[in-house]
Amino acid sequence: MLKGAIIGFGNIAVRGHVLAYLSDEVLRSKVQIASVMDVVGQNRELLRQYFPEAKFYTDFLSMLENERLDFVDICTPPHTHADYIQRCATKGIHILCEKPLTETYAKASGLVKLVRESHIVFVPCHQYKYSPLWKTIHEFIASKKLGTATLAQFNVFRLHADSGTTAWSPDWRTKRNHSGGGILVDTGAHYFYLAQYFFGVPKRVFSVLRTLKHVDYDVEDTALVTLEYDQTLMQVNLTWAANQRANSLHIVGTEGSLFYNEKALLFSNSAGTQEIPMPDVSDKNQYVSWYAALIKEFVKRIEEQNTSDDFLCEAFNVMKMLDLSYKASEKNAMIDVG
């Protein structure tokens, strides 16, 4: 039985992580959440309802000193990640960490080096890769059912930033010193690891970042990003300034195309159109199954002592693409990824 600790009990912890641990039979048989750390008393009391036998802490260092942990599950905002990762890696504790890796690219290189040298399992919470929609799209691209994908466009429209837990700082996503950026970081990070999942690391990046509506935010509320590959252009259009919530995607290939309309994935080629029913990808009730699959992959790697750095590289490349997107917008220029 692996002993783990949850760090932070915000919305994503309860909607994804906690319910995954409790609802999945495999995880219940292999994982014990032995400790919980949160600086907010109200959050600790809520967590006690889920893990009554766990030990509860207000201080991270005290928890590390008093507990013998196999892993930690970091569910706190990005500006806290670096310190937690450094201290756990130094102690040889495996790490599951919410995206992005940290709040700045400058910190990311040092973290990657430390994690590699510590020979621990590190898995970022890139949970979209475990959803039926994105797995199906990956299969279409990888199997060449579309031929060569030449253009991919992803659109995410929201009215505002999601709120964090009311017990701490509900608007942390709109504070640069906590989040590291606006919708580009909060939502764009997902599409930057999906880009790698589908097409690999891009050659060049261009972006336009603006605040179109929420002038009280300390970060951008809109991001339009283009990723250039040898044979593919990928566009990611994100906004917190829409008047209705919506998601869509289009992928055009030399032998077929895909379109997603929140209800179904439509595959069209010379033989006609096939409709593949799909749930609304933005429905967070689905997150539990995605997180369960992700955490089981993490547990499997710990059991097999698989410390390969593919997930770590993916997380680092997300940080690099975020950084280059901000620079491209500032310079109004396409930038080589290198």
For the chain, domain boundaries = 2-126+290-307, 128-282+318-336
DSSP labels, 8-30: --SHHIIIIIIHHHHH-HHHHHH
Compute CA distances 256 → 69, 155, 160, 263, whole Å.
49, 20, 35, 20
Q: Which fold has domain 128-282+318-336?
A: Dihydrodipicolinate Reductase; domain 2 (3.30.360)
Strand 222-228 versus strand 204-210 pairing type: antiparallel
pLDDT tens-digit profile, the chain (338 residues): 999 999 998 889 988 999 999 999 999 999 999 999 999 888 888 888 999 999 999 999 999 999 999 999 999 999 999 999 999 999 999 999 999 999 999 999 999 999 999 999 999 999 999 999 999 999 999 999 999 999 999 999 999 999 887 777 889 999 999 999 999 999 999 999 999 999 999 999 999 999 999 999 999 999 999 999 999 999 999 999 999 999 999 999 999 999 999 999 999 999 999 999 998 887 778 899 999 999 999 999 999 999 999 999 999 999 999 999 999 999 999 999 98
Residue 206 has which token pair?
Answer: 């261009």
Pick the CATH number of 2-126+290-307 from 3.40.605.10, 3.40.50.720, 3.40.1390.30, 3.30.420.40: 3.40.50.720
CA dist 10 and 256 (Å) reads: 42
In the numeric block, the tokens 């605040």 are attached to 211
Residue 338 pLDDT: 85
CA dist 282 and 285 (Å) reads: 9
- The helix (H) or strand (E) run that includes residue 258 is strand 257-260
Q: pTM, whole model, 2 decimals?
A: 0.96
Residue 43 pLDDT: 84
